[in-house]
Amino acid sequence: MRGGTSRGPFFQRSDLPADTATRDRVLLAVMGSPDPRQIDGLGGAHPLTSKVGIVGRSERPGVEIDFLFAQLQPDKDTVDVVTNCGNMLAAVVPFALETGLVAARGDTSAFRVRTVNTDMTCDITVQTPGGRVRYDGAARIDGVPGTAAPVAINFLDTAGSVCAGLLPTGATSDAVALPAVGELRVTCIDNGMPMVVMRAADLGRTGYESVVALNADAELKARLEALRLHCGERMGLGDVSAKSYPKMCMIAAPQRGGSIATRCFIPHVCHDAIGVLAAVTVGTACVLEGSVAHELAALPAGAVKPVSVEHPTGEFTVELELSDPRTVARAALLRTARLIMRGEVMVPDQVWPTHGATR
């Protein structure tokens, strides 16, 4: 399924091995990792197409669906289930409806979903005319061609998804001085995604460079990685050298009428767009006074702020509601999703004995 600007296979939880180690071996085999081309699996040779969704009925009172997100890498044998993916989250309710885990509730159907990775809950609404998921419509998101039916996501508790809180260092900005990086100020923040936000100008860049140019910029990527390792420790995440977080986001003043311009690294490849929860998190940095993003951002007045996050292939608007100057009460956004195929993926017998195939 495609969820937002990401894509990957979805599984019912009951169809995968209960043992975590075996499950991870199965997922690696399914995706064809580790291999840069993922030639022996379903992966798309890019982190955005090396994702897996695992869905089941929830046993938590008031919650209907559990979603476990797994991030794989084309060239690594890792299966990361620590952070969330808000893009793949957009496909969870359509998948649950398609597979009979839940039933439609009229022309629109809303369900409460728990992301198992971070124990975060959200309400997701999809269109279900005639009891079937609708995929065609007029909603458009940058990074996906054409239009589709909207998927509305209302996040209920995103602050401190992996870190100890919204501002894991306790400050809206921190000074960093490293030989490999130089001196600059950063905002370490987690409102759905652990992230380090920094001004592109402080790294000698404009923040408007192309994805191709940034991915070829070895000097910048080396500095970003040194900064990531340092800030990961300060955020209470320990040694993040083998982890896919925190994400790194360079920012600049908006260039196309939005609120802020971004170039995000996930964490070593520059994102063609921006992740859902990364957009929520950098948007949150924009509305927090004292952050490195706040004085660069162009924001409307009022407690409810639509924040238009510019990225290399367009923009992503998130709606943030503040309960006080340092507390975000609600984050809402719109995505789209599509069922691409259904069928069987063959798992080698040596990976999962006695199971020649799994759905």
Residue type for position 163: C
260's CB contacts (< 8 A; 6+ apart) are 251, 252, 253, 254, 282, 283, 286, 293, 296, 297, 298, 307, 308, 309, 310
Condensed to tens digits (0 to 9), the pLDDT of residues 26-77 reads 999 999 999 999 999 999 999 999 999 999 999 999 999 999 999 999 999 9
DSSP assignment of 93-149 = HHHHHHTTSS---SSEEEEEEEETTTTEEEEEEEE-GGGS----SSB--TTSSS-B-
Residue type for position 255: Q
Whole-number Å distance between alpha carbons of 142 and 273:
8
Whole-number Å distance between alpha carbons of 340 and 200:
37
Domains in the chain (CATH in brackets) are 2-150+337-358 (3.10.310.10), 174-333 (3.10.310.10)
Residue tagged 């920094």 (tokens): 198
Among 240, 233, 235, which Cα is nearest to 164's?
235
DSSP assignment of 310-343 = EETTEEEEEEEEEEETTEEEEEEEEE-EE-----
CA distances (Å), 70 to each of 35, 83, 94, 261, in order?
17, 8, 18, 28
Among 112, 110, 16, which Cα is nearest to 70's?
16
The single-letter DSSP state of residue 191 is B
- R_g of the chain, CA atoms, integer Å: 20
Which residues of the chain register pLDDT less than 70?
A: 355-359
Sign of the four-CA dihedral 92, 98, 99, 103: positive
Among 251, 204, 203, which Cα is nearest to 224's?
203
